[in-house]
Amino acid sequence: MAHECSVCGKRPQMGNRVELRGKAKYLGGVGTKVTGITRRQFKPNLQKVKVALPQGGAKSARVCTQCLRSGAVRKAVKRAPFRLTPATSKSGKAES
């Protein structure tokens, strides 16, 4: 489970690396030629993030960026947000 999204299960996929040579026709050449094809791996963009659990608390997980952007997971809040105390005027009385 080294390279796998814990939300959607995205894993590395195999594909081809295509080596081209020549100048494209639209640039005035005679066209590109394939000179070599080798196998390669397309790896998902995984990020290690603290994920907020529905029942409270947080745990660390490896999540792909598409799940983060789509809102499939909610990141845990690192600390409580800053809260303002009731504003006081210069005379010392609280405004309402």
Looking at the domain assignment, is residue 6 inside a domain? no
| 45-79 pLDDT tens trace | 999 999 999 898 899 999 999 999 999 999 998 87
Q: Which of 69, 72, 71, 51 is nearest to 60 (CA)?
A: 51
Looking at the domain assignment, is residue 65 inside a domain? yes
Q: Tokens 């397309």 correspond to what residue?
A: 42
The domain total for the chain is 1
How far is 87 from 96, CA to CA, in rounded Å? 9
Looking at the domain assignment, is residue 37 inside a domain? yes
Q: Specify the pLDDT at position 92.
A: 59
Q: What is the DSSP letter of 70?
A: H
Domain of 55: which CATH number?
A: 2.30.170
Q: Specify the pLDDT at position 81.
A: 76
Looking at the domain assignment, is residue 96 inside a domain? no
Looking at the domain assignment, is residue 47 inside a domain? yes
Q: Which is more confidently placed, 85 or 26?
A: 26
Q: Specify the pLDDT at position 90.
A: 64
Question: Torsion angle of alpha carbons 7, 9, 10, 15, nearest 10°?
Answer: 180
Q: What is the pTM of this model?
A: 0.65
Instruction: For the chain, report the end-to-end CA distance as a whole number of angstroms.
Output: 56
